[in-house]
Amino acid sequence: THHILQNLISDLTALAPETNVIWLYGMAGSGKSTISTTVAERLHERGQCGAFLFFDRNIPAQSGPNGVIRTIACQLALSNAILRDAICDAIEQDTQIATRTLDAQFKALLLGPLRSSLSKMTRPMVIVLDAFDECGDAESRRALVYLLIKNLPLL
């Protein structure tokens, strides 16, 4: 298990576009959350966990798709000073960004800051989404997945 975790972390932190997304799936109770949490902890120790979100359908206020982009941006800002400055600049440019569409939030709070900070970053930052199947309903998850798939190649 230790060797598998090391390989997973190496794949996640490689500067290779083909490994910028890893989807961990399996039956309920198979240990996916344990693996995700362990990976996030190890990445945090290395200074590379940009954000870790755990969704729970029993806590809809925390697990709805509307807050995902803002939560990722907040955690990225807390984990990296370079990104914090860029994200704060984006918020200052549009103080109403939280009321905009998910697409507009993604571009302003994630895509723009990540792109503008890329040359100053010394290593990749990883975002871990755990129990994504518990994020909102099927339609809102589909919209969020589409947004991520559409924009991930740009990161």
Q: Domains of the chain: which residue ranges?
A: 2-154
Return the half-sphere exposure (C-beta side, CA atoms, 13 A cut-off) of residue 30: 7
Average of pLDDT values for 70-81?
A: 95
Closest-CA residue to 4 (of 45, 33, 35, 44): 35
pLDDT tens digits for 21-44? Answer: 778 888 888 999 999 999 999 999
Structural contact between residues 5 and 32, judged by C-beta atoms closer than 8 angstroms: no
Q: What is the pLDDT of residue 9?
A: 82
Q: Which residues contact 18 (CB under 8 A, 6 or more apart)?
A: none
pLDDT tens digits for 47-61? Answer: 999 999 999 988 877
Q: What is the pLDDT of residue 15?
A: 64
Average of pLDDT values for 104-133?
A: 92
Query: For residues 74 and 72, what is the distance between their CA atoms, to the nearest angstrom?
Result: 5
